Amino acid sequence: MIGLRIKEERERLSLTQQGMADAIGVAKRTFIDWEKDRTSPTAVRLSALSALGVDVLYVVTGFHNTSAPALRPELTRRKSTLLDNYDHLSESDKAALERTAFALAEQGRVSRKGKTA
């Protein structure tokens, strides 16, 4: 059942299996196995899916996260420009940008964990 919901979320986000797999750093075969319920993503991979906009609560439980805003109208001009630029990229460039953004975000999380208050 999780596999079907992963597929629904991927399609909702208009991503290909390859694009989503690349964005979270797994092989396409691994992603296909998730969608076919052969294996399941780890918590780390679910977190990566969440960072892409996947409703992980829905994937795991079948219930949508109604507390999260569906749209973010508070986008700053900088974020809006970033999204506009993204929309003009090729699919392969989008995948590369998503991988880079994910890696930078992970690096930022790791460096923030190492700092003490």
In the 3-class helix/strand/coil scheme, how is 50-87 assigned residue by residue? HHCCCCHHHHHHCCCCCCCCCCCCCCCHHHHHHHHHHH
Q: Which domains does the chain have, with CATH numbers?
A: 1-117 (1.10.260.40)
Please state the length of the chain: 117
User: For position 69, what pLDDT does the model report?
Assistant: 54
Q: Is the overall model pTM greater than 0.85, yes or no?
A: no
Residue range 12-63, pLDDT digits in tens: 999 999 999 999 999 999 999 999 999 999 999 999 999 888 999 999 999 9
pLDDT category at 74 given cuts 50, 70, 90 is low
Question: Higher confidence at residue 102 or residue 36?
Answer: 36
Residue with tokens 């590369």: 96
